[in-house]
Amino acid sequence: MAVPVVDPERYPAQLEAKRTRISQRFAALSPPPLEVFASPASHYRMRCEFRVWHEGDDLFYAMFEVDPQDPKGKRVVRLDQYPVAGETINVLMPRLLEAIRDRPVLRRKLFQAEFLTTLSGEALVTLIYHRPLDATWEAEALWLQAHLGVSLIGRARKQRRVLDRDHVWECLIVDGTTLVYQQVENSFTQPNAEINRAMLGWARSATRDGRSGDLVELYCGNGNFTVALAGNFRRVLATEISRTSVASARVNLAANGIDNAVVARMSAEEFAEALAGERQGRRVTEMALDGYDFTTVLVDPPRAGLDAASCERLRDYPRVVYVSCNPETLFDNLQQLHDTHRIARFALFDQFPWTDHCECGVLLERR
């Protein structure tokens, strides 16, 4: 994988190429005109991770790309700055290395540095080591935390030392509404905050007439869409399998004063079985599924998309909001649903400029 080369003057052409590619790929499904949401051309990633490379007395951040002279090998690419990353990360990158360069306790066997930041400038830094972390390290790390003005976490084999807190708070203004999100270290969060804001605004617009029914959300993560869409529905039931994400989603619902949504720890497959009456147990009983009138389902699956059986179950819903990080699996799933649902809205979110990656949003309505 190549390290992205950022050239803001070329960004409009890059985005147009993506628009053309996606429009042509999905033309057979007769979608409406593609809505395109542009990213900032640089400094758009709120989270990044870098290897920390040691060469004698020198210390620098590194990423790896395929060596053109040896396709089976990789070469080290030194990074003193990284224009893909947000401004806060770029400020912290050199400050961190300068602070630890002459501090052996902090530097020794430091393997990786991870940055998690917000639009407002909050930052959480995780340092990962190939050695145990002891009280001496913690004392030095407390100094570093204060020196950088960040929250700091140390990781090593079977160790995780949280000095202050393990999360940041992101604040997004969507349609004039301020939404706050707890984002936990080492858990999935949307990396491009401005595109995330665009995605949430688009999803709110696509479901604005949903007050007469209820929303079921699969793969809800930390409640990213749940928080933004709750006001459009009578009730919301969101499901997620990750224990950490479920806990964070519940915190985010409370932080935003949302009282018409609940999050259940359950996989999408388990929920489908519960809805069909094929699964019983305490968790299913607590959901009280008989009290819901699901008119809309939102799915945001991993790159593999939905398997055929899960996709088939979407036919039961009058309206489907499908957010996809893989256009190819999205196309396959939409083909399967094409006889019962039409594409009412179609969006491209440029989550990762300077790569081939495309994030799409589709609103499906029953024919």
The full set of domains in the chain, from first to last, is 8-42+169-366 (3.40.50.150), 47-167 (2.40.50.1070)
From the list 72, 16, 343, the residue with the least C-alpha distance to 206 is 343
Q: Is 171 a catalytic residue?
A: no
Distance CA 359, CA 337 (A): 20
Distance CA 237, CA 287 (A): 8
| Amino acid found at 305 | G
Distance of CA 123 to the CA centre of its chain: 17
- The token duo for 258 is 């949302």
Other Cβ atoms less than 10 A from the Cβ of 81: the count is 12
pLDDT at 126: 98
Q: How confident is the model at residue 159 (pLDDT cuts 50, 70, 90)?
A: very high
Q: Is 48 a catalytic residue?
A: no
Distance CA 128, CA 208 (A): 44
Mean pLDDT, residues 130-153: 98
pLDDT tens for 34-66 read 999 999 999 999 999 999 999 988 999 999 987
Q: How far apart are the first and last CA of the chain?
A: 42
CB of 306 within 8 A of CB of 226?
no
- Identify the H or E element spanning 226: helix 224-229
> Of 217, 240, 359, 360, which one is the catalytic site residue?
359
> Of 48, 311, 325, 360, which one is the catalytic site residue?
325
* Three-state secondary structure call for residue 279: coil
The pTM score is 0.93
Distance CA 319, CA 341 (A): 8
| Amino acid found at 157 | R
pLDDT tens for 88-112 read 999 999 999 999 999 999 999 999 9
| Amino acid found at 218 | L
Say what percent of the chain tops pLDDT 70: 96
